[in-house]
C-alpha cells in the first residue's frame, strides 16, 4: 500500500499547476551579453547566482537528428537553448519552487526576446532537466515540464512539441 505522502503527490502537483495558472510569474531583469547569450542574477539560499542562457545554432546533421524528430529535421535556422546557474547545471536542483518558477519565467522571457529579434528562425529546442535532477526530485521535474509547456503555448506564431523529453518550439508556416 502506498504511503499517504505518495498518494498526495499527484494532488499537490495539480494544485501547483493550478496555482501557476497562466504561468504569469514575473520574470527577473535580464541583460543580453551578445547575439546568442543572455544573463540574469538570482538569489538562491542567500547566495547571488548568475544564470546564463545560451542559444547555439544547430548546424550539424547529427545534432539535428539528436535534437529534432524526423518531421522537423529539414528546418534550417534552429537553435538549442541551454542555461546554467553559476556555471553548474545541477545547481538548479537546489532551488525551491518559487525560485524555480521565477528562473523559468525569466528564461522563457529571454526566449521570447530572442524570437522577437530574429527575422529568420525556424525552431528552438529547450533541453529537459538533467536526468540526475529528475530522478532525485520527480515532483520538481513535473512542475518544470508543466510550467515550460504553459509558457511555450502562449508564444504567438509558434507551435509546441516535445522530443527526447525536451521542448521544441516551431515557427508556424504562413
| 146, three cell numbers | 508543466
- CA–CA distance, 32 with 110 (Å, rounded to integer): 9
- Cα of first residue to Cα of last residue in the chain, in angstroms, is 53
- CA–CA distance, 101 with 29 (Å, rounded to integer): 14
Q: For 126-174, how does the pLDDT look when each residue is reduced to its tens digit (9 = 90+)?
A: 876 555 555 555 566 677 777 777 888 888 888 888 887 788 888 887 6
Average pLDDT over residues 82-107: 74
The pLDDT confidence band at residue 37, using thresholds 50, 70 and 90, is very high
3-state secondary structure of 124: strand
Return the sign of the alpha-carbon dihedral for residues 160, 13, 164, 128.
Answer: positive
- CA–CA distance, 93 with 129 (Å, rounded to integer): 9
Amino acid at each position: 500500500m502506498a504511503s499517504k505522502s505518495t498518494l498526495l503527490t499527484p494532488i499537490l502537483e495539480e494544485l501547483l499547476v493550478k496555482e501557476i495558472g497562466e504561468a504569469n510569474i514575473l520574470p527577473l531583469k535580464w541583460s543580453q551579453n551578445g547575439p546568442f547569450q543572455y544573463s540574469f542574477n538570482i538569489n538562491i539560499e542567500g547566495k547571488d547566482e548568475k544564470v546564463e542562457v545560451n542559444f547555439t545554432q544547430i548546424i550539424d546533421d547529427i545534432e539535428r537528428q539528436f535534437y529534432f524528430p524526423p518531421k522537423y529535421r529539414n528546418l534550417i535556422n534552429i537553435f538549442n537553448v541551454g542555461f546554467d546557474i553559476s556555471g553548474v547545471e545541477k545547481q538548479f536542483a537546489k532551488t525551491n519552487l518559487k525560485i524555480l518558477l521565477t528562473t523559468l519565467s525569466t528564461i522563457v522571457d529571454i526566449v521570447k526576446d530572442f524570437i522577437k529579434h530574429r527575422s529568420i528562425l525556424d525552431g528552438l529546442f529547450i533541453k529537459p532537466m538533467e536526468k540526475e535532477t529528475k530522478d532525485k526530485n520527480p515532483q520538481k521535474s513535473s512542475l518544470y515540464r508543466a510550467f515550460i509547456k504553459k509558457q511555450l503555448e502562449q508564444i504567438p506564431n509558434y507551435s509546441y512539441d516535445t522530443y527526447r523529453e525536451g521542448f521544441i518550439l516551431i515557427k508556424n508556416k504562413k
